[in-house]
Structure 1
Amino acid sequence: MRQTIRRLAFLCLAMVSLGAISMQSAQAAATDKFPMRPITIVVPYSAGGGTDTLARNLARVWQEHWGQPVVVINRTGADGIIGSEYVKNQPADGYTVLIQVNQALFYPYTVPSANLDILRDFQMVSKLQQNAMIFGVASNSPDKTFGDFIARCKKSSNPCSFGAATRHGEIMARQIGDLTGLSNMVVANYKGTSPMMVDALGGHISMGMPSLVVALPQVKGGEFRALATGATARLPELPDVPTLKEEGLNMSAMTWYGIMVRKGTPESVVNALSDAVRLASDDKKLRTSMETEGAIPVFSSPADFDADVHAEAAAVRPLLEKYLTPVGK
């Protein structure tokens, strides 16, 4: 009787073990064959913008590569928080991908009630591209160089104003103020680049801070004078314009666009997505679209992207704590 009970117990234990092994094998097979169903790329900003265009180009390449539908959806609102929260609440299986930009790093400071932390809640997959910020003035401004602008602002009895179209732009302006000792400055926050540029070209703000794709036509048309760029090296489109570092400021001002998935996504799935990004990096249509937008292609690895965002977060944290006021306060 005892032997029979022991045998039954042994058989039950063996069946449980085999079931667990089978389940693990099935899960491993599922991730090894990723993707086995449609992928969704969530854009937390409006359709037709730079983030949306990049996502749709990426979706086209992935769909051709995998033979699976890759759908782009726009879940907008709250400065990108609504779409990001949506992805955070999806399963950590890699089938829902988020595309985001720098300012997502600011959420714990700007909207702490959202309980959304990009570094804590997401696994970085790839920094796809980055766009340099251009710092310039209206063509009728007396400032011919970035140094001229800073010197004039320091002597002026009226504070100089920096036009910022995003929270990231605001922090870049604040960083310039700190590094140059420009205490008498204000940041004028705008809801978008277009109204900011209208005021910059009209001389209603001292300095405009558009992206390259917005600034370039105005520079070529003689309406906007670029004094410095936020790039790490001189831009081919503006070879005579120095970088902020050349102007003596130990900083860059680049807006990055990257993809990420919910934290806890299997490593094999992250690697599959990373491999698909590398494949996309060779797509001529995608690269042409980036160049048209004035972007610098990056297509980094998950490890490099993760290191970059952590370094950036550490660099801007003191500025965020000093200058950004949380929503509702």
Structure 2
Amino acid sequence: MKALIALALLVASAVPAAAQTDFPNKRVTLVVSASPGGGLDATARLLSERMAKAWGQPVIVENQGGADGLIATQRVATGPADGYTMLLQIPSLLLLKHNTHDPGFDPVASLAPVSELGRTPSVVAVNARSGIKTVQELVAWCNQSERPCSWGSGQQLSYLYGKRVFALSGIRETVNVNYKGTGPVVNDLLGNHITIGMTSIAAPLAFHQQGTLRILAVNAEKRVPQIPEVPTFHEAGLQMPARGSWYGLFVPAKTPPEVIAKIEKVVVGLANDPAAQEVMRNIGAEPVFGPSREFAAGIREDAAFLDSLVQQYPLK
């Protein structure tokens, strides 16, 4: 009798492990903390296609923007830790703890980083009809204007970068206009309703290439291949660390290591996929598809940097 009980306990304890090793055996959901059409969304759709092909299971993309990614982050972080619901986020994740309203959970500690998918620089952009062609011309134009120059930001991350950029630039006075996402920033920049847009490169890139917007500088260590004529921040006289943004993949913190390893294997494999890298470059991102260990280390560095910016420029 004791032997039968022991056998039953052994079988019962083995069931969860077996269930995890056959991951995935049903539909997987990628939750995107941004609206459709941007760089993060394009990255998610690339992952969806490659994961579905590798696993033979449907992988769907669900966009859940708003509140600087808090809604999407909370959904994944507090959901089942089984790998079937993943999150695509940007460094705004690291700023959620600074929100005035307590989210009721630790956004960073509640998630496990799987991979840094790509890096995308932030940019300073203006309407091409303004005639402004350099950062120096922008500074002169704003300082000679009767009214403070207005600049748009669609995320807390862009707000912090903007505050730092304008402090370094020599522009004496600006007025920030806060938007819900980068899409509205670009729309109002196109309509000449604001003077400057502070966004990641993905949003204004196509309009720069079409000649309707002009990117004045990119926050990167070297010039971006898609727009080699545009200087880096350092070349434009803005001595700011080249950090920009990243696209990251996360799962709930208590997800089994063997499940994380299966997800990581597919994603890291894209580093040797020319077509996947081309998708990333087309949205102005530098492909990374790195391992979770390296991504975790980078997150710690970025968190320290952003904390220092918040101390200088408190979030609204």
Q: Is the TM value for this pair above 0.5?
A: yes
1:133-152 correspondence runs (5 A): 133-139=122-128, 141=130, 143-150=132-139
Q: Distance in 1 between matches of 2:44 and 2:125?
A: 29
**TM-score, L = length of structure 2:** 0.84
Asked whether the equivalents of residues 117 and 247 of structure 2 are also in contact (C-alpha less than 8 Å), the reply is yes
Question: Equivalent residue for 1:175?
Answer: 164
Question: Equivalent residue for 2:22?
Answer: 33
The total of aligned residue pairs comes to: 314
Asked whether the equivalents of residues 88 and 250 of structure 2 are also in contact (C-alpha less than 8 Å), the reply is yes
The letter of the residue matching 1:323 is P
1:29-178 correspondence runs (5 A): 29-139=18-128, 141=130, 143-150=132-139, 153=142, 158-178=147-167
Q: Distance in 2 between matches of 1:295 and 1:275?
A: 21
Asked whether the equivalents of residues 101 and 258 of structure 1 are also in contact (C-alpha less than 8 Å), the reply is yes
RMSD (CA atoms): 3.0
- Residue 24 of structure 1 and its aligned partner are, at CA, apart by 4.4
Question: Equivalent residue for 1:196?
Answer: 185
Name the CA shift for 1:195/1:147 in 2 (closer, same or farther; >3 Å). Answer: same
- Residue 189 of structure 1 and its aligned partner are, at CA, apart by 1.6
1:230 to 205, 209, 219: 219
Name the CA shift for 1:100/1:184 in 2 (closer, same or farther; >3 Å). Answer: same
Q: Distance in 2 between matches of 1:15 and 1:110?
A: 52
Please say which structure displays the higher CA radius of gyration.
1
1:302-317 correspondence runs (5 A): 302-317=292-307
Between 93-102 and 206-215, report the one with greater CA deviation. Answer: 206-215
Asked whether the equivalents of residues 148 and 174 of structure 2 are also in contact (C-alpha less than 8 Å), the reply is yes
Q: Distance in 1 between matches of 2:134 and 2:252?
A: 45
1:205-244 correspondence runs (5 A): 205-244=194-233
- 1:264 counterpart = 2:254: yes
Question: Equivalent residue for 2:291?
Answer: 301
Question: Equivalent residue for 2:315?
Answer: 324
Asked whether the equivalents of residues 290 and 296 of structure 1 are also in contact (C-alpha less than 8 Å), the reply is yes
Asked whether the equivalents of residues 35 and 41 of structure 2 are also in contact (C-alpha less than 8 Å), the reply is yes
Asked whether the equivalents of residues 34 and 181 of structure 2 are also in contact (C-alpha less than 8 Å), the reply is no
- Residue 71 of structure 1 and its aligned partner are, at CA, apart by 2.9
List alignment gaps of at least 5 residues for structure 1: 1-7
Q: Distance in 2 between matches of 1:26 and 1:221?
A: 57
Name the CA shift for 1:180/1:261 in 2 (closer, same or farther; >3 Å). Answer: same
Residue deviations 1:44-69 (CA, integer Å, cap 9, x gap): 43344443332232122112111223
SS in 2 for 1:174: helix
Asked whether the equivalents of residues 107 and 116 of structure 1 are also in contact (C-alpha less than 8 Å), the reply is no
The letter of the residue matching 2:189 is A
Q: Distance in 1 between matches of 2:8 and 2:306?
A: 49
**TM-score, L = length of structure 1:** 0.81
Q: Distance in 1 between matches of 2:90 and 2:194?
A: 26
Asked whether the equivalents of residues 153 and 159 of structure 2 are also in contact (C-alpha less than 8 Å), the reply is yes
Asked whether the equivalents of residues 213 and 294 of structure 1 are also in contact (C-alpha less than 8 Å), the reply is yes
Q: Distance in 2 between matches of 1:221 and 1:63?
A: 34
Asked whether the equivalents of residues 38 and 202 of structure 2 are also in contact (C-alpha less than 8 Å), the reply is no
- Residue 140 of structure 1 and its aligned partner are, at CA, apart by 5.0
Residue deviations 1:290-312 (CA, integer Å, cap 9, x gap): 23322221111111111112211
Asked whether the equivalents of residues 148 and 175 of structure 2 are also in contact (C-alpha less than 8 Å), the reply is yes
Q: Percent identity?
A: 33
The letter of the residue matching 1:312 is D
Name the CA shift for 1:29/1:217 in 2 (closer, same or farther; >3 Å). Answer: closer
- 1:252 counterpart = 2:252: no
Asked whether the equivalents of residues 172 and 253 of structure 1 are also in contact (C-alpha less than 8 Å), the reply is no
Asked whether the equivalents of residues 174 and 319 of structure 1 are also in contact (C-alpha less than 8 Å), the reply is no
